[in-house]
Homo-oligomer: A and B are copies of this chain.
Amino acid sequence: MNQNNELDKENFNIWLIEDNLHFRRTINGLINHTPGMKCTNAFETCEEAISKLQTEFPPEVILLDIGLPGMTGIEGIEKFKMLSPSTHILILTIYDDNEKVFDALCAGASGYLLKDSSPDKIIGAIEEVLSGGAPMSMQIAHKVLEIFSNLKPKKNDYGLTDREKEILKFMVTGLTKQQIADQLYLSFHTVNTHLKNIYVKLHVNTKSGAITKAFKENLI
């Protein structure tokens, strides 16, 4: 164990989860014909892989399809990441809709490949994951940045003044009017007035409404 010759040989264990038999065999063969990699397990479902995790050491990389029968790949990612956080999960799927991509990456996937990727790309992606990268198909990378740019609406601040924004921030922390007044060395009445003005500008009439709007429209 001390003389770890696995690392010297760079013989990495890779698991494959893919319900399509043909594709499973193809990828399996591809990996096993690559020096330094070994596909030690190939499953049809996440459930099988998870039960195997109880008895075997986790692999360095799991190649995972998303559209699986039974447990969906997204749920699978979360499970795997719980059972073996250091295992890299590389998505290999036909799905490229924003929702799936977003969910998979949020769940902790280390990369996302589309199934039209060439064998070279797939092997390259595994290597990239092993060296700390985050391989993505071109389309996926594009989608990822798209998601980012939609992440910050940051549009109109409804004409809130600086003071009003400041008070809004305090509101969000859950303070009462009196507590906000104390924090800012103001009179209760002043804070009260500011709140009234904020409500008008945000078209709400409760603290709750103001807070919800603040979060949804990135006013804070």
On whether A145 and B141 interact (CB within 8 A), knowing A174-B208, A212-B173, the answer reads no
Q: How far is the CA of A1 from the CA of B30 in the complex (A)?
A: 50
Instruction: Determine chain A's interface SS by DSSP, over half rule.
Output: helix
Residue A144 is within 8 A (CB to CB) of chain B in the complex: yes
A123-161 CB contacts (< 8 Å) to partner B: 128, 131-136, 138-139, 141-142, 144-145, 148-149, 151-152, 154
Question: Chain A 21-43, CB within 8 Å of chain B: the 1/0 string?
Answer: 00000000000000000000000
Alpha-carbon gap, A197 to B106, bound state (A) = 30
Contact across chains for A174 and B105 when beta carbons are under 8 A apart = no
Residues in B with CB closer than 8 Å to A114 are none
Interface size class of chain A, counting residues whose CB lies under 8 Å from the partner chain: 35 or more
Chain B residues with CB below 8 A from A148, complex form: 102, 105-106, 144
Q: Does A181 contact B (CB under 8 A)?
A: no
Q: Which residues does chain B contribute within 8 Å of A208, judged by CB atoms?
A: 171-172, 174, 207-208, 211
Q: Are B149 and A209 in contact (CB under 8 A)?
A: no
Do A138 and B149 form a contact, CB below 8 Å, given A171-B208, A172-B212, A208-B174?
no
Q: Are A138 and B132 in contact (CB under 8 A)?
A: yes
User: Known interface pairs A152-B106, A212-B173. Does A138 touch B145 (Cβ–Cβ under 8 Å)?
Assistant: no
Is the beta-carbon distance between A138 and B134 smaller than 8 angstroms?
yes
Chain B residue nearest to A209 (CB atoms) is B174
> Which B residues touch A111, using CB under 8 A?
145
Q: Which residues of B contact A106 (CB under 8 A)?
A: 148-149, 151-152, 154
14 A-B pairs within 8 Å (CB atoms) are namely A106-B149, A107-B149, A107-B152, A109-B145, A132-B139, A132-B142, A144-B148, A172-B208, A172-B212, A174-B209, A207-B207, A208-B211, A211-B212, A211-B215
Q: A105-B148, A132-B142, A207-B208 are in contact. List 13 more A-B contacts (CB 8 A).
A: A102-B148, A107-B152, A132-B138, A133-B139, A133-B141, A135-B141, A136-B141, A172-B212, A173-B212, A211-B211, A211-B212, A211-B215, A215-B215
